[in-house]
Amino acid sequence: MSERKGIVTVFGNAMTLLGNAVTVGQKAPDFVALDNDLNPKTPADYAGKVLIIAAVPSLDTPVCDVETRRFNSEASKLGENVHILTISMDLPFAQKRWCAAAGIDRITTLSDHRDASFGINYGVLIKELRLLARSVFVVGKDGAVKYMEIVPEATNEPNYDAALAAAKALV
């Protein structure tokens, strides 16, 4: 498994990302993550949709909370052909509790805690913390990565406008 250093920091501390880097234009890597009811989900479950996949370190942190709420509010403006996934290493039970408390009802939260297959396959698993680096991937209906951002400092928010524009351009 490849290791990449110097791409992200957490509170200014350099971290190591595990897995191969994803590039725009390539076929989106497959992964298996668990939904809030412990059902395995893969990208095939969302076939025919444009996907915005937002990886966050933990829903229970301030920036991840803000980001997930923002994508939830934007979801209704995107139409039925776009689906937003937020993936973290949080346990499915914690995700379900957090979503209920936060009123998250337009996006799907998935847990990568079991296998870290999303983190490894998308190259965003932080070795030192076993958390996902804050990142956003937009996958077209054809299954190819059309946009990606790995946020350099995990305590910063992603470029929402760029990700949303990339998704809107695909519908």
CB 119 within 8 A of CB 55: yes
113 vs 27: CA distance, rounded Å? 23
AA identity, residue 66: V
For residue 96 the two structure tokens come to: 């379900």
**SS3 for 137-168, per residue?**
EEECCCCEEEEEEECCECCCCCCHHHHHHHHH
Please state the φ and ψ torsions of residue 88, each to the nearest 5 degrees. Answer: -145, 175
Catalytic residues: 64
For 21-65, the three-class secondary structure string (H helix, E strand, C coil) is: CCCCCCECCCCCEECCCCCEECHHHHCCCEEEEEECCCCCCHHHH
End-to-end CA distance of the chain: 35
